[in-house]
Amino acid sequence: MSSPIQLQPDETFILNVGPQHPATHGVLRVKMEMNGEYIVDAETVIGYIHRMHEKMGESKTYPQYLMNLSRMDYLGAVGYSHGHVLVVEKAAGIEVPERAEYIRVLMVELNRVASHLFWFGAFVMDLGGFSPLMYALQDREHILDMMEAVTGSRLTYCYFRYGGLYNDIDDDFIRAARAFLPRMTKSMKKYHKLVTGNVIFQKRLEGIAPLTPEMCRKYGASSAVARGSGINFDVRRNEPYSVYPEFDFDIPVYHECDSLARYNVRMDEIEQSLRIIEQALDKLPDGPIMPKKKPKIIKPPAGDYYQAVETARGSFGVRLVSDGGKTPYRLKLRSPTYSNMHLFDEACRGMLITDALAFMGSLDLVIPEIDR
Amino acid sequence: MSLTLLNVIVAVVIAIAFAALNAAYLVWAERRGAARIQRRPGPNINGPFGLLQPPLDGIKLMAKQLTIPGGADKVLFIAAPVLAMFPAIMSFVTIPFSESIVAKNMNVGVLMIFAFASMGGMSLLFAGWSSRNKYAMMSSVRAVSQAVAYEIPMLITTITVVMIAGSMDLMEIVRQQGGSFLHWNIFPLLGRSHNILMPMSFLIFFICTLAETNRAPFDLGEAESELVAGFHTEYGSMGFGLFFMGEYANIVIGSCLTTILFLGGWNAPLPFLSFIPGVFWFLLKLYILIATFIWIRWTFPRTTIYGLLNLSWKILIPLSLFNLLLTAGLIKVF
Amino acid sequence: MIFDKTRQALFALFPAQDLDKPVVEEPSSDETEDAKTKKTAEPRKDGLLECDYSVHGYHLDAQVAPEQLLDAVTIVDNLEYFIESITGVDWIKEDQLEVVYDFSRYDFDVCRVVIRTRLDRNNPIVPTITGIYAGANWHERETHDFFGIKFDGHPHLIPLLLPEDADFHPLLKDFKA
């Protein structure tokens, strides 16, 4: 759309898109070397909210660590708990009852919709359209109210336990979830009409920040960043876990590689999540939510274990190195936004600063997840 | 002699008071309008419907400390907000609200308003340059290039209307649109232009007003989410207050001008309705346009700088020039 | 199947390992506490392991010497894997630091590969793979932050998550805050 002008190296200045800035979603600092409005080079500085969750993993016992996972990415917290709980169950050989698996998937998908709604509102706000944020947050309130009644938290959920859940869902929740689905479908139509169909919005995103599939591979990008570039990769399909094989849903993939493609991927993902929620509500079996036989103290056998799950932001991986003790020997959390953000430095060279900020919005960043 | 002078002074003071009051209460209208669009209440605590909010905000702003960044050019820094507010308020002096309500009518009213509007552009430069802040500088560069680009189609469409009316006197332009709404300049059937493309001119003028006043979707100058607050980042307290009020005063001026040039000023839409005083019609049309401004701001996202400038140079200017020639031809023929 | 191709390619790095009888890791069964601690005190030897995916979550596990690292990563790059993460593990009892590289695939031919190297704890230097995978940049900086492992040839090895003037390495087992 806009071709880079001839850059003269002696006319650059450094602009600090600093830790305090309305557009960076969290404490992120990008040191941009600018030539007029064009970015010559960018360096991302992270670590402002680094809390060393991995060290905490080594000193806390397994049950004590459950609450840490939701503090990493607070918008899509349930998915992260899911990944951690799955790897420990895999290692220690704990069986999960079927009802618990279905409820877990239900919660994960509801949380995914909530996270995408927040991303949608914040993204359009970054571009200058202030109103959709309010509508998206109102839809999200319905989800948060539902989940609060069952889990007790609105944002940082600590709902999963090793082997199942700690609280069962009741009829009120199922009723509310069923009422939510048609309401959300109507809202999505509204968003598509008002935002996706808006000419200014489309012109703002078309052709911005093309990311080639090769670049995605070198950086390990996942979620909408990879799927917007034509890579059909979703951990729920490629490496199925939990009860995802039971559900019928599509993985949206767009091949244009630009910001509009990433936006479209996430909007379609919301609709697919609604499908999964509906199927989960239909197929929900009766039964217990915790296994009958569960070890009192969780002590996975010595060895290396890895589990990847698909969260709202991409492929979240937990690598557990256990020495057979009560606390992990090493707990590595592979955060998807970390790899997605890394692309920014290379991809934003030669862009206008407005385009770079639109690109940052399309990456769906949550900084505490990068910094852990 | 002294009575005429007194008349003039009173008229000017009233015009300025109207402008200031409008600017202040437009803030209230914008906040309530934005809230309605975003499904929330808006200011409703101070006074009934939040009507006391603007004066209280004004008191708050005046009570804050006026800081000048170290190393900033003091003269320009203080001159910029004054320069933003002053021309807008002064332009009110020549706007006719009805047959008899006008502070001081001039036979070059159009020219005077545009002269003052160009002065307002300087305040953008002064503010951004003197703040010694990279964000402010970048935003003022954008804002100035936008202001220059959009003045041109605005002037061309104004010239089209001036050609139709044969005079730059604002009252004369409005008088010639008397009759029914079909005589208004926007509708060509019974109007003097016989030009079927006049609504397009209206639309061009409207878009240019949006761009000249730095309103969304053309608000790159103050793109909040990118450049913090744009060229008035470093201004606190009354400096910011003056910029704010200047922007709203500009909106009112732009809407007044649109009403006068295209929508018939104080003329009633149908002849039998002219028992209702002209002031009412003028204010009605004015506030409908302002409501549209507010509506547009909270609906659309921002354009890019290239989209913005392309729109002006490549689309609006050729269209307005074409319309100018067409009108000139039609006037000659009919 | 990509699994076989990768396995063949990685085997080439270990001429000493028996090609006909690949080592398949037995799932660790109940063992006594003493046996376990004795087992982990011996450092693992270089070689290729095939792991049970349903237990461990990955398919192939290759431990290479630091000199062979770039060859192994090039093999994996040529077979179109993407870099998942790089991390370290502090084996203080064996006086070694381990660097673990995770690779995975985008297509439906699922195969996860883990490449490890063991380094001397007192002088941990390993060549950087940023030349092959540009995304390794941040992962290596983070591993350096947490363990003090030096990546030879890294363009910009300054602290990423820790403050710029940090000279401590928190994830080492003998780190006292």
Nearest-CA distance from C135 to chain A in Å?
4
The yes-or-no reply on B/A contact (3 CB pairs or more, < 8 Å) is yes
Q: What is the pLDDT of residue A103?
A: 92
Distance between CA atoms of residues B289 and B254, nearest Å: 9
What tens-digit pLDDT sequence spans chain A (372 residues)?
A: 334 445 555 677 787 877 777 655 778 888 888 887 788 888 888 888 888 898 888 889 988 998 888 888 888 889 999 999 999 998 888 889 999 999 999 999 999 999 999 999 989 888 878 888 889 999 999 999 999 999 888 888 889 988 888 888 888 899 999 999 999 999 999 999 988 888 888 888 888 888 888 888 898 888 888 898 888 889 898 888 888 998 998 899 998 888 899 999 999 999 999 999 999 999 898 888 888 888 888 888 888 899 999 999 999 999 999 888 888 999 999 999 999 888 888 888 888 888 888 888 888 888 888 888
The pLDDT tens digits of the residues spanning C102-156 come to: 998 888 888 888 988 988 888 889 999 988 888 889 999 999 989 988 888 888 8
Mean pLDDT for the stretch of residues B279-288: 87
Cβ-Cβ contacts under 8 Å, A352 against chain B: 304-306
Closest CB from A1, A22, A131 relative to B37? A131
Q: Per the CB < 8 Å rule, is A134 touching B217? A: no
A&B contacts, CB < 8 Å: 83
Question: Is-above-0.90 flag for pTM?
Answer: no
> Cis omega (within 30 of 0) on the bond before B69?
no
Q: What is the pLDDT of residue A105?
A: 92
Distance between CA atoms of residues A158 and A171, nearest Å: 21
What percent of chain C lies above the pLDDT cut of 90? Answer: 5
Instruction: Report the residue of A58, A299, A307, A319 to disrupt the C interface, i.e. the one with the largest count of C CBs within 10 Å.
Output: A319
Q: Show the CA angle centred on residue B73, arms to residues A34 and B68, nearest 5°.
A: 95
Q: Show the CA angle centred on residue B174, arms to residues B170 and B179, nearest 5°.
A: 170
A92 or B187, which is more confident:
A92
**DSSP secondary structure letter of residue A31:** E
Residue C159 is which amino acid?
P
ipTM above 0.90, yes or no: no
Q: Per the CB < 8 Å rule, is A130 touching B219? A: no
Q: State whether residue B253 sits within 8 Å of chain A by CB.
A: no
Pairing of strands C96-104, C82-91: antiparallel
Q: Per the CB < 8 Å rule, is C57 touching A323? A: no
Considering only A142-156, B12-26, B250-264, C27-41, which range has the smallest mean pLDDT? Answer: C27-41
Helix axes A336-347, A353-362, angle to 10 degrees: 160
Closest CA to C143 of C94, C83, C75: C83
* Mean per-residue pLDDT of chain C: 79
Q: Per the CB < 8 Å rule, is A130 touching B38? A: yes
Closest CB from A304, A315, A346 relative to C56? A304
Q: State whether residue C93 sits within 8 Å of chain A by CB.
A: no
Distance between CA atoms of residues A160 and B138, nearest Å: 49
Q: What is the pLDDT of residue B228?
A: 54
Q: State whether residue C140 sits within 8 Å of chain A by CB.
A: no
Nearest-CA distance from A4 to chain B in Å?
12
The yes-or-no reply on A/C contact (3 CB pairs or more, < 8 Å) is yes
Distance between CA atoms of residues A234 and A236, nearest Å: 5
Q: What is the pLDDT of residue A141?
A: 92
Pairing of strands A330-334, A29-35: unpaired
Q: What is the pLDDT of residue A1?
A: 38
Q: What is the pLDDT of residue A182?
A: 93
Mean pLDDT for the stretch of residues B143-164: 87
Nearest-CA distance from A20 to chain B in Å?
10
Q: What is the pLDDT of residue C25?
A: 47
Considering only B159-173, B270-284, C7-21, C136-150, which range has the smallest mean pLDDT? Answer: C7-21
Instruction: Report the residue of B207, B220, B225 to disrupt the A interface, i.e. the one with the largest count of A CBs within 10 Å.
Output: B225
Distance between CA atoms of residues B324 and A208, nearest Å: 37
Q: What is the pLDDT of residue A264?
A: 92
* Chains interfacing with A (3 or more CB pairs < 8 Å): B, C
Res. B248: pLDDT tops 80: yes
Res. B179: pLDDT tops 80: no
Res. B102: pLDDT tops 80: no
Mean pLDDT for the stretch of residues B196-208: 86
The pLDDT tens digits of the residues spanning A315-333 come to: 999 999 988 888 899 999 9
Closest CB from B38, B135, B223 relative to A128? B223
Mean pLDDT for the stretch of residues B101-119: 81
Instruction: Report the residue of A127, A140, A198, A204 to disrupt the B interface, i.e. the one with the largest count of B CBs within 10 Å.
Output: A127
Pairing of strands A160-161, A164-165: antiparallel
Q: State whether residue B134 sits within 8 Å of chain A by CB.
A: yes
Closest CB from A46, A332, A343 relative to C87? A332
Q: What is the pLDDT of residue C167?
A: 83
Q: Per the CB < 8 Å rule, is C82 touching A220? A: yes
Distance between CA atoms of residues A191 and A199, nearest Å: 14
What percent of chain B lies above the pLDDT cut of 90? Answer: 2
Res. B181: pLDDT tops 50: yes
Cβ-Cβ contacts under 8 Å, C138 against chain A: 338, 342
Distance between CA atoms of residues B119 and A187, nearest Å: 46
What lies within 8 Å, CB to CB, of C145 at 6+ separation is: C159, C160, C161, C162, C166, C169, C170
Q: Per the CB < 8 Å rule, is A329 touching C89? A: yes
What lies within 8 Å, CB to CB, of B334 at 6+ separation is: B194
Q: Per the CB < 8 Å rule, is A315 touching C56? A: no
Cβ-Cβ contacts under 8 Å, A194 against chain B: 299
